[in-house]
Amino acid sequence: MSAGPAAVATPHAVWDRLSRRADLRAKAGLTRTARPRADAVDLAGNDYLGLSRHPAVLAAAADALAEHGLGASGSRLVRGTTALHEAFEADFARHTGTGAAVLYSSGYLANLGAVAALATGPVLLDAHAHASLHDAARLAGARPETFAHNDLDDLEHRLRTLRPALVAVESVYSVLGDAAPLRDLHALTAAHGALLLVDEAHAVGTIGPHGAGGAAAAGLAGDPGVVITATLSKALGAAGGIVAGPAVLRRHLHDTGRTFIYDTAPPPAVVVGAAAVLVVARESDGARTELARRAALAAAALDAPAPAAGVCSPPAGDARAATAWAARCADRGVAVGCFRPPSTPDHRSRLRITVNTGVPAAEFAHALDTVLEARP
């Protein structure tokens, strides 16, 4: 007697399975909701120097919008590149002391492009590195491996064992807000013949000489063994991503980088706005000093790790407690970040306070008091 036909899953079964998974996430306090931005003191965004609304920035972007229109109309290699894109790339390379730079429509795509271009074997990542770096290693077909966060002994052991071509770290980490020991990391990677990729997303504009970032602060600007990635969406107040390194890397990314070749270019008005921010940010040493002061004040008040730049991450118990704390802050007119697994590499839930020096000092102090009062 022959067996009957095998059961075939229907589209309805797919949605049922996803619904059950959503229910399980809700029970664990892991539901994520995109809410419209409310009128609140901003301690959640990444506009560290408050430059996204600087008058010179808005004026430059408005002029470019009127001249070039809303979008870039094509990929960088088809129709999307303008003289504005190339001028920004050259200016960013000068700012960070690198040989050349390549602009992308997001920091995520910049990391994907850089890792895909450089991963000729296993990729070794700090356990706390951005998710985009971990995703990039997997998508590039490389074998991603991690070393313990900022643990030089573990890194050296894995360098000897794996012999990777690429080690990826952040200069300022996005969750805990701590700094990478870049000089020591570079010494190890150089000794083992590996490139060091430094994600400067939270460092460009906030640390280093004239805000040039962590690699420049560590004396590694322009080193041929270092590649920099960054986003324009944080201290530079715009949107987009960038990869900077030797000129030969730029050529390679143009010729072979899928996230460059097939992606629509960033809008010219956004690029011009970021360029204007970069000009102001170079002269904003006073704002960087104030950023450091406020971040240290927040960390001390909230019993959080000492920050390297503008990120303060106090622990918040489990996911439900973190969500409740963030909600109470929002109810009192203060927007804060809420990080829960899997977004936290140490599997702990926490708030993330991001300092914005565009918020008046008295308003920031009151907002910090509000966060303390709302704490469970």
> Distance between CA atoms of 62 and 270, rounded to whole angstroms?
9
pLDDT tier, 25 (very low <50, low <70, confident <90, very high otherwise): confident
> Distance between CA atoms of 307 and 314, rounded to whole angstroms?
11
Residue 350 has pLDDT above 80, yes or no: yes
The tens digit of pLDDT for each residue in 33-43 reads 777 777 889 99
* DSSP summary character for residue 209: G
Signed CA dihedral, 50, 56, 59, 64: sign only: negative
* Residues paired with 70 in a beta bridge: none
What pLDDT sits at residue 8?
60
Q: Which of 88, 106, 105, 102 is nearest to 272 (CA)?
A: 88
Q: How far is CA 252 from CA 101, 165, 240, 255, 310, in A?
A: 12, 16, 20, 5, 34
Q: How far is CA 350 from CA 119, 179, 336, 342, 347, in A?
A: 33, 18, 10, 12, 10
The tens digit of pLDDT for each residue in 136-186 reads 999 888 888 999 999 999 999 999 999 999 999 999 999 899 999 999 999
Residue 207 has pLDDT above 80, yes or no: yes
What pLDDT sits at residue 307?
95
> Distance between CA atoms of 234 and 210, rounded to whole angstroms?
16
User: What is the maximum span of the chain, computed from C-alpha positions, in angstroms?
Assistant: 84
Residue reference for tokens 């000129």? 247
Its pTM stands at 0.91
Q: At 369, is the secondary structure helix, strand, or coil?
A: helix
The tens digit of pLDDT for each residue in 65-105 reads 999 999 999 999 999 999 999 999 999 999 999 999 999 99
Q: How far is CA 342 from CA 29, 128, 286, in A?
A: 12, 12, 36
Q: Which domains does the chain have, with CATH numbers?
A: 36-51+285-374 (3.90.1150.10), 55-282 (3.40.640.10)
pLDDT above 70 coverage of the chain, percent: 97
